[in-house]
Every structure is written in structure tokens, then in C-alpha cells.
Amino acid sequence: MHDVPAEAVIKRVAEELKKMERIKYPYPVPIKTGACAERPPTQEDFWYVRCAAILRKLYLHGPLGTERLRTMFGGKRRRGHSPPKFRKAGGKFIRTMLQQMEAEGLVKTVKGKGRMLTPKGQSLLDRISGSIKK
């Protein structure tokens, strides 16, 4: 996983997540992903791409909670003439994604530490990164 470009892994994992029935965008219209975003995402499959990015972060950085993931996916909030400030990403999106991946069996909850990959989730990432590396 460490030797493979992140973009390639995320793209391939997102394609695999599209095939899973429990992972899907739960809202009828596009919604902003946090205070740092000015507009809703324009990609059609942004939900799967973000889920894949979360899986990769869990693989590399161990058990992570929603707050740490919000910080990782946050960004600068533009405030007009005032200088930009960092804002966290929206927590509801990340929490819903983690719950969907937990229902699919890719992630499990560790009490007091957050969520971590299950052997099924780890093997999915290992298989995809191995095929990209070849």
C-alpha cells in the first residue's frame, strides 16, 4: 500500500465499492461536505471516492475516530477580505460513510479509539494495491 500512488488505489477501490449494495449516497440532492466547501461536490461518484479515501487513511494510520477524519479532510474557509482559516470537514458525511462500510463488513468499531479495518477491508486494499503494483 505504501509503494502505490494514492490516486490509483482510491480510484480502483471506489469502483469496487460501487458494486457493494449497502454503500450508497443517502441524500436526494447534493449537499456541501463541510464549512470549508463553497459548493457541493460535482463528481457523480464522490461518495465512493471519499469512502475509498477513508479506507486508505484507516489502513495507513490505524484506528481513527470521526474527529480525526474530519480534520484530515478539512480545508481552508475563504472569508472574503479576512484571511482564510482552517475548518473541519462535515462529520455527518464521514460518520454515515463509516456506518455504511461497517454494515458491509469493511470496518469495525474499537471502543475508545474509533474505527479500524477488518480483515475483509484490509484484504480488499491489499489485493487492489498488489494488482496496481504489478
Query: What would the pLDDT profile of 87-98 be if each residue is shown by its tens digit?
Result: 999 999 999 999
Q: What are 18-65's pLDDT values in tens digits?
A: 999 999 999 888 888 888 889 999 888 999 999 999 999 999 998 999
Domain map (residue ranges) of the chain: 6-133
pTM (predicted TM-score): 0.92
Residue with cell 509503494: 3
Instruction: Supply the pLDDT for residue 2.
Output: 86
Instruction: Supply the pLDDT for residue 115.
Output: 95
Instruction: Supply the pLDDT for residue 24.
Output: 92
Instruction: Please name the amino acid found at residue 21.
Output: E
Instruction: Supply the pLDDT for residue 30.
Output: 85
Instruction: Supply the pLDDT for residue 1.
Output: 82
Mean pLDDT of the chain: 93
- pLDDT, mean of residues 116-122: 95
- pLDDT, mean of residues 70-76: 95
Which CATH number is correct for 6-133, 1.10.10.10, 1.20.58.100, 3.40.1710.10, 1.10.287.3510?
1.10.10.10
Instruction: Supply the pLDDT for residue 114.
Output: 93
**All cell numbers assigned to 38:** 463553497
Contacts 24+ apart (CB under 8 A), 126-129: 126/1, 128/9, 128/12, 128/13, 128/16, 129/1, 129/3, 129/4, 129/9
**Residues 82, 62: Cα–Cα separation, whole Å:** 37
